[in-house]
Amino acid sequence: MENETCSHCVAVIGGATAGAEVAHRLAERGILVAVFEQNPRPFGKIEDGLPRWHQGLRAKEYKNIREKLSHPLIHYVPNTKIGHDIEFKDLVDGWGFTCVVLANGAWRDRPLPVEDAEEYVGKGLVYQNPFVIAFNHREDPAYEDETFEIFDDSIVVGGGLASIDVAKIITLSTTRRKLAERGIDVSITELEVKGIPKTLAAHDLSWEDLDLAGCTIYYRRRVEDMPLITIPDDASEERIAKVQKARRSMLDKAGDKFKLRIEPLSAPDELIVEGGRAVGLRLRRTRVEDGRVSMTDDTYERRGPVVISSIGSIPEPIDGIDMKGELFDFVDWTYGRLAAYPTVFSAGNVVTGKGNIVASRKHARQVSKEAVEAYLGVGDAPHEGKHAQISALESAEAIASGVADEATVQPPMTQEQIDAVRVRIRARQSAVDYPGDFGTWMDHAAEPC
């Protein structure tokens, strides 16, 4: 650490896809970066979101993040939750960083929009984030958080990629259990790769033999609206129709292979409660016109052992950051700027709200290149970058909030200032027993089962 020559120090909050991307870009440009991560390992939703059967994708993304964070100018600070172990305001205003990048993702479930939903959490209502985390850690002896029983015929409310994974967790797990009862041992990954019908056929069984109902996803839009394939902003009518057709075909295939069904044009209206537990949902039929969803007068009931809400993830509030509804109150949504903290930028899922690895990485690259690097005066194309930054900041809201004043390139930090930041980083690393070397730390922070 002592021999590094840097012009600035930057803190990144969250070390996963978006955080690692920003940290690496800045380190490559001679910036000292401290990455504060709440967990021992920096893999975020790659480790605790993607169900474990995404083995290839997970391995690729682990390698990518690990390589990026191995840069000698990046100082990893694990087991440090900003807002809990270190106050956000202190980190931004007190530590001496030229700027701070929030890359903390979205770890809270959007509340199910029905009356008194929160009263029934754990009593027939389950949210996606803890459900998937528990599934991923089901064979991890060190896992101490909440666990969930997996029921056939569960009700899933959702519509994105994650809700399909939730439905698959149910049908794959219940199929595996039925096979185990017959003395047949098949792993979840094997079942996922081959699909349920083929796996059963290999054992001379059919789906009907298992006497399972499968799982239904209730979705407020049409099947072709499910965002499994992205429609580019400038897509022609013809292109849109093609993507919609491909989405329908993908879902048909997933339905056959994983025994899940989609009930479109259905929005949750009310929980059905009996004996203090949610035992199902009343749903309201919807209509989609010109891309807008409207409610009809038609309702129907659906009972099931559990309702799993998978309608999107939102950022966990951090003390000191103003919220607007369920989101951070950004005055600039391109670069995730906050009125009260002119030196803060934000990247990845915390801003995009898109549960998508590529979208997080792309956004992180854009924020780093156009805003942070321009701000620090280390961009590849400083004029172009600065121009982009200024135009984004010149929105009426940003100017009104004073954030636009920060469009000026920052003078380099003095050696004394940099040394003072290093001392604080090192003190926190010592407090969490971090050996000072990322490779050594990662070799010991073993992957849970």
Ligand X SMILES: Cc1cc2nc3c(=O)[nH]c(=O)nc-3n(C[C@H](O)[C@H](O)[C@H](O)COP(=O)(O)OP(=O)(O)OC[C@H]3O[C@@H](n4cnc5c(N)ncnc54)[C@H](O)[C@@H]3O)c2cc1C
- Contacting residues toward ligand X, per CB under 6 A: 13-19, 36-39, 42, 44-46, 49-50, 81-83, 103-105, 107, 132, 161-162, 165, 318, 348-349, 355-358, 360
- Ranges of H-type helices in 37-101: 44-48, 55-69, 88-89
Q: Which of 38, 54, 34, 35 is nearest to 46 (CA)?
A: 54
Cβ closest to ligand X, residue 46 vs residue 376 = 46
Least gap, CB of 406 to ligand X (angstroms): 23
**Residues belonging to the chain:** 449
Cβ closest to ligand X, residue 368 vs residue 401 = 368
Least gap, CB of 47 to ligand X (angstroms): 8
| Sheet with 99-102, edge to edge strand ranges | 74-77, 32-36, 9-13, 99-102, 344-346
Least gap, CB of 418 to ligand X (angstroms): 23
Cβ closest to ligand X, residue 43 vs residue 218 = 43
Cβ closest to ligand X, residue 229 vs residue 240 = 229
What's the CA gap between 15 and 278, in Å, rounded?
A: 37
Neighbouring-strand partners of residue 261: 216
Least gap, CB of 192 to ligand X (angstroms): 12
CA distances from 394 to 33, 338, 370, 387, 398 (A): 28, 14, 14, 10, 6
Task: Return the number of other C-beta atoms located less than 10 Å from residue 403's C-beta.
Answer: 24
Least gap, CB of 445 to ligand X (angstroms): 13
What's the CA gap between 332 and 315, in Å, rounded?
A: 16
Cβ closest to ligand X, residue 96 vs residue 105 = 105
Task: Return the number of other C-beta atoms located less than 10 Å from residue 5's C-beta.
Answer: 9
Per the listing, tokens 């499910």 go with 226
Q: Which of 11, 2, 77 is nearest to 376 (CA)?
A: 11
Cβ closest to ligand X, residue 38 vs residue 266 = 38
Least gap, CB of 277 to ligand X (angstroms): 25
- 74-77/337-338 β-pairing: unpaired
Least gap, CB of 279 to ligand X (angstroms): 25
14 phi and psi angles, rounded to 5 deg: 105, 125
Cβ closest to ligand X, residue 310 vs residue 401 = 310
Name residues whose C-beta falls within 8 Å of residue 216's C-beta, 6 or more positions apart in sequence. Answer: 153, 155, 156, 167, 260, 261, 262, 263, 302
Cβ closest to ligand X, residue 309 vs residue 349 = 349
Cβ closest to ligand X, residue 220 vs residue 361 = 361
Cβ closest to ligand X, residue 192 vs residue 286 = 192
- Ranges of H-type helices in 29-155: 44-48, 55-69, 88-89, 128-136
Q: Output the residue with the shortest Cβ distance to ligand X.
A: 105
What's the CA gap between 80 and 95, in Å, rounded?
A: 15
Token digits of residue 312 = 């999107």
Least gap, CB of 169 to ligand X (angstroms): 8
Least gap, CB of 215 to ligand X (angstroms): 14
Least gap, CB of 152 to ligand X (angstroms): 20
